[in-house]
Amino acid sequence: MKYAMLPTPWEETLQALDAAGHERVPLEQAEVLIFNGGPDDFPQPLPPSVGLVQVPFAGVDHLLEVMRDTTARWSNAAGLYDATVAESTIALLLAQLHAHKRVGTSWNNRDEVEAHTSFLFEDKTVAVVGAGGIGKRLIRMLEGFGPRIIAVNRSGNPVEGADETFATADIERVWPAADYFVALAPLTDQTHQLFNAAAFRAMPNHAVVINVGRGPLVDTDALVEALRAGHIAGAGLDVTDPEPLPDGHPLWDMPNVVITPHLANPPYSVRRRIGSHTVKVMERFAAGEEIPTEVDTEAGY
């Protein structure tokens, strides 16, 4: 098939597509567009020859308005980075539970670190809020640590490996029932600031919140206040709102907050994997078959 990649061609991606026999052409001649930019970068209007747009990330909330203005089918990268993000989630959670940030630069902080250390296997419950592909992979990884696991998804249908599953509409029942919370839900009108002041007040005061999903899943001002007031014990953040988190923001200086700069799935991982994924999607598109990663533009994911 004929394809274009905008606005930034990635050599690893181009090599995978070329090796599969696809032809890179100007956008006006393309049947498929691999798009790795933001809404301001999107070509308007999209040439009528383009029937499929592939984006290299799972989250597409920033492109929904653009998507709805086209007649093309859209595919995201859902499931492609499950293991990467799940492992990064565990790293953030363990760094927080083991008080690594409190070590600082001195061995003399040992007593403080000990006082704030806890372990997953000590009769703890982890709530995975957004138990899709990444969440399910995370649950499998967590099983070796032995916590009880609550899964939260849109439907409330049971999730393999979880001890209990709740629908997102029943999330109020989950806040007091878990010790640690992982935010992995897609960003929609229903999940925007799902982790808010009321949620933090409902959690046990030893709760830890990890956000590796989308920054606006968490109300940042409410998070700061909850940490200061002791409503919750800590947080681990790979995504923030705003992003990037400004220098001097209170979260940077809190000893009970661990932050990574949106690297749960680093760019090199995206560039390496999206090419082969796109090849498979293009094969299905050309054959008129179902595309497992096709985006429902109305649902927002």
CB 44 within 8 A of CB 261: no
The H-or-E segment that residue 237 falls in is strand 234-237
Q: How many CB atoms lie within 10 A of CB 162?
A: 22
Structure tokens at 65: 């308005």
- The catalytic position among 98, 262, 271, 284 is 262
- The catalytic position among 87, 112, 243, 294 is 243
Question: Is the backbone of residue 215 left (phi > 0), alpha (psi -120 to 50) or beta?
Answer: alpha
CB 285 within 8 A of CB 27: no
DSSP E strand boundaries for 102-142: 125-129
Spatial separation of the C-alpha atoms in residues 14 and 266, rounded to whole Å: 19
- The catalytic position among 137, 214, 231, 277 is 214
Amino acid identity for residue 61 in this structure: D
Beta strands across the sheet bearing 52-54 = 23-24, 2-6, 32-35, 52-54, 73-75
Q: Is residue 214 annotated as a catalytic residue, yes or no?
A: yes
Spatial separation of the C-alpha atoms in residues 10 and 112, rounded to whole Å: 46
Structure tokens at 30: 């393309």
Which residues are catalytic, by number? 214, 243, 262
